[in-house]
């Protein structure tokens, strides 16, 4: 006879935090969100700690090099998606590690024989007003000119007009050589009252842009997540099939940490993958594993040597694993049990293995609940997919700006490696959907807003650190009518503006 759990499988929305005593020190400015990313022994410091409890999901529509750089600036880390060739993934990792703060690789590029219509489309898609015109239309091509919003007027010019007819040509641009320092670039920008400065090599090929608007932002990133060489930190996803080829390439590219991307982590395949890494690299290469939803699954991965453990099956907004396979568990219930197992393991062995809550975050307050329930950090997909820095284009659908978002288990991703249970070479059925999410703007602005809510709630609970929140938080299960009572009710709204993210 099957084993039956006595308690319900609950979600974050079924819980509320109960306020604690708020002292004078409990103000958001005093809250620290620093949290361990990898395991450590009692009395020692983890080799990697996050400055904010956020990592981005191992997904094609979420974690590329652009988002990884933006998130590292805020103090979190991205895991570059693994459902691509080994070479392409390693190249993305290398781009993050080689990124020079303040020096931006051009994300919007065209050729001289493109048209004004192409310019308009590219601005709508990327959201950037500065477009590099190169001989091959690539970010590293020979720079021939630049187009900004000052170079054209849609109402007065034909969309068929060639870019070379209205761009600002290279002869009229102020540029700087490749050995220019950031301070030197900013001095040139201020001296000549520029909005941007192209950095070119000795062959005239574009290397970077330095933007005037970035000057102050580079002084306002005290939370940056940097390695010992002052480079941004970045993670990468791996699978349980080609790890013998993928892991060495990612390590060579400079990945700071790896994570096995799988819909279900309580398997011999995950242990074999970790065993390979330990045999080849010892403890020098750190790797997270998962996903699991109970004590037994956590202990299996802990003993296998995982540096952190991901919790969650079927809770993601685009995941249909529960619907298609009838397997999974409510995210809150799973997280509570695994966190308890983590604490017991720490007491028994003296080794603390961080827990990552993956899935189920719908509203910002769910983040605080996840941390209070024991998560050391959260892996977020839908949340980050909405931002400028995610890989997908911004689209206008029926007057609303959206971005595409699809699951790694969807037919679009064709990520059959993620669902391997012993040698299958194709996706037998889908465990994710293809969708849109409402465009939300820049990562920086949204992360700052979300984490201010987390900090404020922690102060309401009388704590200013995540460990104290986990130790002292009080929670209550809510009824269905209590959930209704918690929102606006018995009133008529003046507008349709949502107050939730």
Span 286-327, pLDDT tens digits: 999 999 999 999 999 999 999 999 999 977 766 666 666 778
Which residue is it, tokens 């040698």? Answer: 423
Cα(161)–Cα(344) distance, rounded to whole angstroms?
Answer: 69
Q: For residue 290, give both structure tokens.
A: 């998962």
Question: pLDDT, tens digit, for every residue of 90-115?
Answer: 999 999 998 876 788 888 999 999 99
Cα(478)–Cα(314) distance, rounded to whole angstroms?
Answer: 22
Cα(390)–Cα(229) distance, rounded to whole angstroms?
Answer: 26
**In 118-133, which positions are buried (b, 16+ CB within 10 angstroms) versus exposed (e)?**
bbeebbeeebbebbbb
Task: Record the pTM.
Answer: 0.79
Percent of the chain past pLDDT 90, that is, above it, reads 75
Confidence at 230, pLDDT banded by 50, 70, 90:
confident
pLDDT at residue 127 in the model: 76
Are 326 and 346 in contact by the 8 Å Cβ rule? The answer is no
Any residues with CB less than 8 A from the CB of 119 and at least 6 apart, and which? Answer: 110, 131, 147, 152, 163
Q: What angle do CA 349, 353, 359 make, to 5 degrees?
A: 145
Confidence at 499, pLDDT banded by 50, 70, 90:
low
Question: pLDDT, tens digit, for every residue of 199-211?
Answer: 999 999 999 999 8
Cα(229)–Cα(159) distance, rounded to whole angstroms?
Answer: 47
DSSP output for 294-313: SHHHHHHHHHHT-SEEEE-S
Annotated catalytic residue: which of 259, 319, 356, 461?
A: 319
If we measure between CA atoms, which residue out of 358, 367, 273, 368 comes closest to residue 309?
358
Are 265 and 103 in contact by the 8 Å Cβ rule? The answer is no
Cα–Cα distance list, 251 to 80, 195, 231, 434, 483 (Å): 13, 37, 15, 31, 47
Average pLDDT, the chain: 90
SS3 445: helix
Are 439 and 390 in contact by the 8 Å Cβ rule? The answer is no
329 is catalytic: no
Annotated catalytic residue: which of 418, 444, 459, 461?
A: 418
pLDDT at residue 295 in the model: 97
418 is catalytic: yes
């Amino acid at each position: 006879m099957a084993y039956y759990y006595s308690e319900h499988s609950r979600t974050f929305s079924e819980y509320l935090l109960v306020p604690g005593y708020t002292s004078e020190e409990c103000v958001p400015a005093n809250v620290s969100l620093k949290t361990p990313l990898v395991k450590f022994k009692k009395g020692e410091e983890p080799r990697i700690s996050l400055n904010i409890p956020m990592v981005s999901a191992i997904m094609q529509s979420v974690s590329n090099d652009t988002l990884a750089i933006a998130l590292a600036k805020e103090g979190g880390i991205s895991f570059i998606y693994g459902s691509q060739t080994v070479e392409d993934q390693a190249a993305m990792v290398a781009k993050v590690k080689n990124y020079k703060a303040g020096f931006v690789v051009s994300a919007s590029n065209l050729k001289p024989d493109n048209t004004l219509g192409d310019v308009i489309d590219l601005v709508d898609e990327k959201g950037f007003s500065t477009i590099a015109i190169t001989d091959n239309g690539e970010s590293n091509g020979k720079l021939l000119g630049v187009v900004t919003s000052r170079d054209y007027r849609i109402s007065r010019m034909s969309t068929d007009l060639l870019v070379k007819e209205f761009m600002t040509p290279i002869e009229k641009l102020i540029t700087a050589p490749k050995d220019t320092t950031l301070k030197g670039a900013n001095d040139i920008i201020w001296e000549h009252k520029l909005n941007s400065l192209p950095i070119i090599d000795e062959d005239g090929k574009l290397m970077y842009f330095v933007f005037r608007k970035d000057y102050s932002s580079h002084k306002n990133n005290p939370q940056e997540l940097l390695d010992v060489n002052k480079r941004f930190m970045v993670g990468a996803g791996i699978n349980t099939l080609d790890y013998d080829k993928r892991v060495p390439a990612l390590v060579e590219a400079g990945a700071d940490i790896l994570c096995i991307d799988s819909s279900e982590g309580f398997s011999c395949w995950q242990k074999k993958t970790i065993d390979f890494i330990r045999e080849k690299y010892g403890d020098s290469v750190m790797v997270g594993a998962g996903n699991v939803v109970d004590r037994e699954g956590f202990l299996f991965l802990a003993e296998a040597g995982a540096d952190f453990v991901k919790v969650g099956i079927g809770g993601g907004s685009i995941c249909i694993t529960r619907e298609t396979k009838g397997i999974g568990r409510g995210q809150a219930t799973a997280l509570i049990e695994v966190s308890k197992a983590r604490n017991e393991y720490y007491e028994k062995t003296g080794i603390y293995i961080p827990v990552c809550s993956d899935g189920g975050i719908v509203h910002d307050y769910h983040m605080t609940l996840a941390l209070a329930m024991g998560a050391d950090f959260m892996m977020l997909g839908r949340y980050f997919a909405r931002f400028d820095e995610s890989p997908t284009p911004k689209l206008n659908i029926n007057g609303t700006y959206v971005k595409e978002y699809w699951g790694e288990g969807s037919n679009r991703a064709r990520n059959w490696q993620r669902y391997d249970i012993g040698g299958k070479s194709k996706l037998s059925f889908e465990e994710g959907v293809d969708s849109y999410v409402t465009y939300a703007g820049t990562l920086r602005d949204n992360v700052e807003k979300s984490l201010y809510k987390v900090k404020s709630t922690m102060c309401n609970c009388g704590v200013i650190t995540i460990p104290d929140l986990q130790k002292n938080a009080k929670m209550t299960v809510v009824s269905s009518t209590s959930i209704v009572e918690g929102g606006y009710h018995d009133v008529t709204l003046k507008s349709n503006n949502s107050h939730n993210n």
